[in-house]
Amino acid sequence: MKRINYLLLITSVIIFGIFISCKNLKNSKYINIGMVDGWAEDVAMTHVVKAILDEKGYHVVIQKASTDMILASMNNEDTDLFLGVWLPYTHANKIAKFPELMNIGTNYDNGKIGLVVPDYVPINSIEELPKYEEKFKHRIIGIEKGAGLTSATDRAIVDYKLNYRQINSSTIAMITELQNAIKRKEWIVAAAWQPHWMFGKMKLKFLEDPKKTFGEAEKIKTYSRKSFGEDHPELIKFFSKMYFDDQTMTDLLTKMENSKDKESTAKQWVKAHPTLVNSWLDKN
């Protein structure tokens, strides 16, 4: 009996030790940021944050996953942050599933999603797509299944009574399809979003959306797990002040797209923008 009680005591001490270690880890300088690989703006902003926080002595770990997985992980208190939440339209339904997640800042406020065509395609509205089904081969080139943009595109097919099907694969595949079609001057329509470096590389135009299926201007926000502010109150102000205007975002995305080492490029970008970064850090 004494042996059993001794073993129970040892087990309790180990479990308590693990609990304390996990609690201390959350209050430590380890920061886990979820990131959707392939989302240019999310990749760029996440690496910039990592560069800044690394300089401040934090150990930032970037976890690549889908939006749904990241939000669920934050809800479970396993992931700390996600910088790529688009509201009030694209991710509204996804965020609604996790009401305890915290909105801690707006990173960009001129986001847009919708259908795009090359500038040489002589149409300007989604309402014109039914007239040119053959030209477009009854296809809309989409991105990953499960993305908010993908759901919005499915709704647009219904709302505008389009005899089209959405072809889903990945963001990289969608961009490759666009580039190849443009080289051959072919007609193509794709689901896309701005800000993105593709608009600097290709001459594209958004089709007008009179039914507002894709919504209007969106804000890109940072969300955190519920207790992040309690564990890291010193970072809440930073994320509330971090903001990219159109010119700054375009500059960042262009440099990141041309880079083979995102982490190194982000560090260089941070060093090249001391006034902006210090304003986020409240040093001005």
Q: Which fold has domain 29-110+218-280?
A: D-Maltodextrin-Binding Protein; domain 2 (3.40.190)
Note the CATH number of domain 111-206: 3.40.190.100
Q: Using the CB atoms, write b or e for 28-58: b if 16+ within 10 Å.
A: eeebbbbbbebbbbbbbbbbbbbbbbbeeeb
| Domain limits, CATH 3.40.190.10, in the chain | 29-110+218-280
- Each residue's pLDDT, cut to its tens digit, for the chain (284 residues) gives 545 444 444 544 444 344 334 444 455 789 999 999 989 999 999 999 999 999 999 999 999 999 999 999 999 999 999 999 999 999 999 999 999 999 999 999 999 999 999 999 999 999 999 999 999 999 999 999 988 999 999 999 999 999 999 999 999 999 999 999 999 999 999 999 999 999 988 999 999 999 999 999 999 999 999 999 999 999 999 999 999 999 999 899 999 988 999 999 999 999 999 999 999 998 65
Q: In the prediction, which pLDDT does 2 show?
A: 46
On the question of a cis peptide bond just before residue 195, with omega within 30 degrees of 0, the verdict is: yes
Angle, to 10 degrees, between the axis of helix 40-55 and the axis of helix 246-257?
90
| Domain limits, CATH 3.40.190.100, in the chain | 111-206
Q: In the prediction, which pLDDT does 146 show?
A: 87
CB burial class (10 A; 0-12, 13-18, 19+) of residue 244? Answer: buried
Q: How far apart are CA 131 and CA 142, in angstroms?
A: 20
Q: In the prediction, which pLDDT does 283 show?
A: 66
